[in-house]
């Protein structure tokens, strides 16, 4: 059945706005109803869900938890046991991306997927509809270039599995009923039989589509990477379009499919060749697809290089940083189109608690958080995680009705702490951004690890830069000291040595993405690794180092 984007979006946004106005009551109702439904599960009996009749009672009886507390339960659910964490069956197993740590399996119920559908799918279209009030729905919701993968993958017993961003599409097509006519690629490309690199074939179909109205992705680095792929391979792609040929690097299966489904199109190739080559990259999206209305991709400060790159490629096409989500749930919707790092929490999606960043206070409820302060999120989701410490540190930056608007800051388990300085990604991002400004270089990616090879430990940074600045280590050291005063104090006390920068070959982060793809993992949810916390990551980037003469 064809998706009615306007109606779906309007209904979702209205529901969200109503829940935002009555957030505390909505949260309480959600929690107590959920506990009552699951009172006879193994977990519910263990913690006496049947006798809990208030939020405060719930927080007294049920302890804070992490993934390790659920690992054995989840193994049993995977093995087919029922009524363990939830009375509802798991219909999908969400696999974490593996770029932060070991892979985890999070069981999802249809109740969870319903929230995903309303708030991470429907409400997004409602915001786009509201942004373009003056346009018809046909002008807004035409053809979509989806750069992510929705390969249909399964557990041994036939239940679906995959990444969070793909679960809703697999679920919607569980009976083959998802109408893919709004996408620029055929359904069999949107839903391949197994994970494989489909970039070339997707780009070929997208370039032919004159009336493209949207580009959908997950993270902004992937959207920028696809755009750069088009620019790097411009002549090859247009030649293949003109003559109906196929790049020599493409598999025989994909080659056969393209030959059968993409006949030569010299007229479109000629049209694209008329795009002036001078400053071609500026606003390239609109030059290729004149009717594009928006680009979905999560970006902001954590992806500042790629966000700025994509803004240059997009020109006046708005970037919608649409959602704040993870394998464990859907947590926030972008405050509005083009608003980066501002996510309105979703009162109906999960039950929220907030641990103050200092960790010395009891978790707070929505009604007690304060603007400007940072908290670790704790969630009770729709799939059987109860008072689960997500590990995400967010800052409250505003309110929508009675619902907090938050900015993601960093992951609690992603810090470097050699001598009590506790440097986090938020501080690293700030220092790298300042360093790029002071030196006039572009830092297309960075990552960091502890280095214990000297007399005292230090930070070892790997950077991919457009040019190598003079005295870069000293300049960046100052930037780090400004970003984290505790780091400066440890440096002054000689508890840590001055940091060191190693420079990476051009394209190192692109090759990392390709290596992840080649290992069989989906590229849609690949985040650039900022913390080298595994032997594999450390080895990969150490192998990308270039020698810089005269480096100080």
Strand order in the sheet with 294-298: 143-146, 212-219, 294-298, 319-320
CA pair distance 298, 320, nearest whole angstrom: 8
Q: Specify the pLDDT at position 48.
A: 98
The closest of 351, 421, 360 to 386, measured between CA atoms, is 351
Res 467: pLDDT:
87
- How confident is the model at residue 1, as a pLDDT? 52
Closest CA to 241 of 265, 212, 257: 265
**For each of the chain's 552 residues, which pLDDT tens digit applies?**
578 999 999 999 999 999 999 999 999 999 999 999 999 999 999 999 999 999 999 999 999 999 999 999 999 999 999 999 999 999 999 987 544 446 789 999 999 999 999 999 999 999 999 999 999 998 999 999 999 878 888 999 999 998 888 899 999 998 888 899 999 999 999 988 777 778 899 999 999 999 999 999 999 988 998 999 999 999 999 999 999 999 888 888 888 999 999 999 999 999 999 999 999 999 999 999 999 999 999 998 888 888 999 999 999 999 999 999 999 999 999 999 999 999 999 999 999 999 999 877 899 999 999 999 999 999 999 999 999 999 999 999 999 999 999 999 988 888 898 888 889 888 999 999 999 999 999 999 999 999 988 888 999 999 999 888 888 899 999 999 999 999 998 898 788 999 999 999 999 998 988 887 777 666 665 677 889 988 889 999 999 999 875 443
CB under 8 A, 24+ apart: contacts of 152-161:
152/191, 152/192, 152/193, 153/194, 153/195, 155/78, 155/93, 157/80, 159/90, 159/91, 159/92, 159/93, 160/91, 160/92, 160/93, 161/92, 161/93, 161/94, 161/95, 161/105
Dihedral pair phi/psi, residue 228, rounded to 5°: -65, -35
CA separation for the pair 500, 518 (Å, rounded): 31
Helix or strand (DSSP H, E) at 393: strand 388-400
What's the CATH number of domain 415-542, 3.30.300, 3.30.70, 3.40.50, 1.10.238? 3.30.300
pLDDT value for 525: 58
Distance of alpha carbon 53 from alpha carbon 28, whole angstroms = 10
Domain boundaries, the chain: 5-320, 415-542
C-beta separation of 248 from 195 below 8 A = no
- pTM, two decimals, is 0.86
* DSSP bridge pairs for 23: none
Residue 524 has a pLDDT of: 60
Three-class SS state of 144: strand
Rounded-to-integer distance, Cα 389 and Cα 381, Å: 11
How many Å apart are CA 430 and CA 433, to the nearest integer? 5
CB distance 445 to 464 below 8 Å: yes
pLDDT of residue 102: 61
């Amino acid at each position: 059945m064809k998706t009615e984007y306007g109606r779906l979006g309007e209904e979702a946004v209205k529901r969200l706005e109503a829940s935002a106005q009555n957030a505390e009551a909505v949260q309480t109702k959600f929690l107590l109803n959920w506990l009552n439904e699951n009172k006879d599960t193994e977990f519910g009996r263990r913690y006496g869900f049947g006798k809990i009749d208030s939020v405060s009672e719930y927080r007294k009886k049920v302890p804070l938890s992490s993934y390790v507390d659920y690992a054995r339960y989840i193994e049993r659910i995977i093995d087919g046991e029922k009524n363990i964490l939830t009375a509802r069956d798991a219909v999908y197993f969400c696999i974490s991306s593996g770029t932060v740590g070991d892979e985890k399996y999070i069981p999802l119920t249809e109740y969870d997927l319903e929230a995903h559908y309303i708030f991470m799918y429907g409400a997004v279209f409602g915001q786009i509809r509201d942004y373009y009030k003056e346009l018809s729905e046909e002008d807004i919701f035409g053809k979509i270039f989806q750069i992510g993968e929705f390969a249909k993958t399964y557990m041994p017993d036939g239940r679906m599995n995959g990444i969070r961003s793909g679960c809703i599409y697999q679920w919607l097509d569980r009976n083959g009923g998802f109408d893919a006519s709004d996408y620029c690629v055929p359904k069999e490309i949107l839903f391949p039989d197994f994970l494989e690199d489909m970039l070339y074939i997707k780009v070929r179909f997208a370039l032919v589509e004159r009336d493209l109205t949207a580009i959908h992705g997950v993270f902004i680095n992937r959207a920028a990477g696809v755009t750069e792929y088009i620019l790097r391979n411009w002549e090859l792609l247009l030649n293949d379009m003109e003559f109906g040929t196929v790049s020599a690097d493409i598999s025989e299966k994909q080659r056969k499919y393209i030959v059968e489904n993409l006949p030569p199109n010299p007229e479109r190739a000629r049209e694209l060749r008329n795009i002036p080559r001078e400053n071609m990259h500026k606003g390239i999206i609109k030059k290729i697809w004149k009717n594009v209305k928006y680009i979905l991709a999560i970006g902001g400060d954590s992806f500042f290089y790629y966000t700025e790159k994509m803004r240059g490629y997009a020109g006046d096409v708005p970037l919608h940083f649409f959602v704040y989500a993870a394998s464990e749930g859907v947590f926030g919707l972008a405050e509005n189109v083009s608003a980066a790092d501002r996510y309105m929490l979703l009162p109906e999606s999960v039950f929220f608690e907030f641990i103050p960043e200092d960790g010395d206070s009891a978790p707070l409820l929505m009604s007690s958080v304060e603007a400007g302060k940072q908290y670790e999120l704790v969630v009770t989701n729709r799939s059987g995680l109860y008072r689960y410490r997500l590990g995400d540190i967010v800052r409250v930056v505003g309110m929508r009705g009675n619902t907090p608007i938050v900015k993601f800051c960093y992951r609690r388990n992603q810090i470097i702490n050699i001598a009590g300085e506790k440097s986090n990604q938020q501080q690293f991002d700030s220092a790298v951004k300042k360093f790029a400004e002071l030196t006039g270089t572009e830092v297309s990616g960075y990552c960091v690890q502890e280095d214990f090879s000297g007399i005292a430990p230090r930070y070892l940074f790997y950077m991919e830069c457009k040019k190598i600045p003079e005295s870069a280590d000293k300049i960046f050291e100052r930037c780090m000291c400004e970003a984290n005063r505790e780091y400066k104090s440890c440096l002054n006390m000689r508890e840590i040595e001055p940091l060191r920068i190693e420079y990476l070959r051009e394209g190192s982060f692109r090759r990392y993405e390709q290596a992840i793809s080649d290992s069989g993992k989906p590229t849609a949810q690949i985040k650039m690794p900022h913390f080298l916390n595994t032997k594999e990551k450390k080895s990969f980037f150490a192998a990308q180092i270039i020698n810089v003469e005269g480096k100080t």
